[in-house]
């Protein structure tokens, strides 16, 4: 037959169990990684399907190059227009000067 638990030991074991359960729960909470708001389940995109940083940089550079080409074309067009205006003015000034002579 087993020896009965002494009357003084039972409250001590009960108090130890009451203190141990919350302690184990607290350690479990600290060890597990919390789920952040941006990590919802099922929304993670696999690395294979995400474009790499170099691809983003390449796309950015392509857009910048297109913008530069448009700007250069606009500047060329504006320059040609201004040159034509200057030539027209010179021609008009030349004709007016010849008419006066």
pLDDT in tens, 19-56: 777 778 777 777 776 655 555 556 666 666 666 767 77
Instruction: Rounding to the nearest 10 degrees, give the CA dihedral for residues 85, 88, 89, 92.
Output: -160
pLDDT at 95: 74
Tell me if 95 is assigned to some domain: yes
Tell me if 62 is assigned to some domain: yes
* Domain residue limits at 90: 55-100
Tell me if 8 is assigned to some domain: no
Tell me if 94 is assigned to some domain: yes
Tell me if 24 is assigned to some domain: no
Q: How many domains does the chain have?
A: 1
DSSP label at 32?
Answer: S
Tell me if 84 is assigned to some domain: yes
d(CA 7, CA 12): 10
Q: What distances in angstroms separate CA 11 from CA 3, 7, 21, 48, 89, one per listed residue?
A: 17, 8, 16, 59, 111
Main-chain phi, psi angles of 79, to 5 degrees = -65, -45
pLDDT bucket at 60, cuts 50 / 70 / 90: confident
pLDDT at 66: 92
d(CA 86, CA 78): 12
pLDDT at 68: 92
pTM of the model: 0.38
Average pLDDT over residues 49-74: 84
Tell me if 14 is assigned to some domain: no
Tell me if 88 is assigned to some domain: yes
Q: What separation, in Å, do the N-terminal and C-terminal C-alpha atoms of the chain show? A: 143
């Amino acid at each position: 037959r087993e020896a009965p638990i002494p009357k003084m030991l039972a409250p001590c074991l009960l108090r130890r169990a009451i203190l141990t359960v919350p302690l184990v729960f607290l350690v479990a909470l600290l060890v597990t990684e919390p789920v952040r708001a941006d990590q919802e389940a099922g929304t993670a995109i696999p690395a294979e399907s995400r474009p790499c940083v170099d691809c983003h940089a390449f796309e950015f550079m392509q857009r910048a190059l297109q913008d530069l080409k448009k700007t250069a074309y606009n500047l060329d067009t504006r320059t040609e227009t201004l040159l034509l205006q200057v030539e027209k003015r010179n021609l008009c000034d030349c004709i007016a000067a010849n008419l006066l002579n």
